[in-house]
Amino acid sequence: MASIVFRQDVKDATGVSWEEWIARLEWDIDPMWSHEQMKNHICETWRLTDEWGEWLAVLYGQRLGRTPVGVTKDAGVQIGVRRTLAASKERIWNFMLSSGGRKLWIGSVPEFRLEKGFEFTSAEGVTGKLTVIEPLRKLRMTWKRPEWERPSRLQLYVLPASQGKTTVAIHQEMLDDVYIRELMRRHWEEALRRIQQETEGAP
């Protein structure tokens, strides 16, 4: 429920381990409180930032049986981001598969082949395996950062939009927890911003 990444980050940010937080909150939090009540109590009692009060309330609320945003029964923890760009799908597809484009969603890889079953490892430690390839439309793969406990499933779509534009959609599921979901949301939003920056305008 709480990933290794979250456990390390909460310890670094607050000086208290997740297990210690659980013990504190079980002693101090009324399970009937709303999410906002829990967050406010955590922030005021332990003088934490809003961000860490939020995360502790979310993860502790999940322990109490509450379902956070982004969690589904079938796909587990997932995130989807999309952006419509003023560029052709061919241009976007080709950029995303170029060495510069791959850096935005895999990292630096010496070789990348559009073949089902192709496995990659980037210099940054991201590993994965291509499972579905639909040229100029879709890639599906496993995708794992080195600090993760298990791989996620990543899908990249390049879809035609109106007026000659193209929508790039990124969907990632089977993430370890909602904390990693938020980290990946920020990562993919920045990747889409960079893709837009590189593909819009004159060829």
Element (H, E) at 5: helix 4-14
- Identify which of 33, 168, 151, 11 has the alpha carbon closest to the alpha carbon of residue 89: 168
* CATH number of the domain residue 187 falls in: 3.30.530.20
Q: How many domains does the chain have?
A: 2
Q: Global pTM?
A: 0.87
Do 141 and 81 share a structural domain? Answer: yes
* pLDDT tens series, the chain, 203 aa: 789 999 999 999 999 999 999 999 999 999 999 999 999 999 999 999 999 999 999 999 989 988 877 677 666 899 999 999 999 999 999 999 999 999 999 999 988 999 999 999 999 999 999 999 999 999 999 999 999 999 999 999 999 999 989 999 999 999 999 999 999 999 999 999 999 999 986 55
Structure token digits, residue 172: 């990632």
The domain in which residue 188 lies consists of 71-199
Tell me how far apart the 2 most distant CA atoms of the chain are, in Å. 61
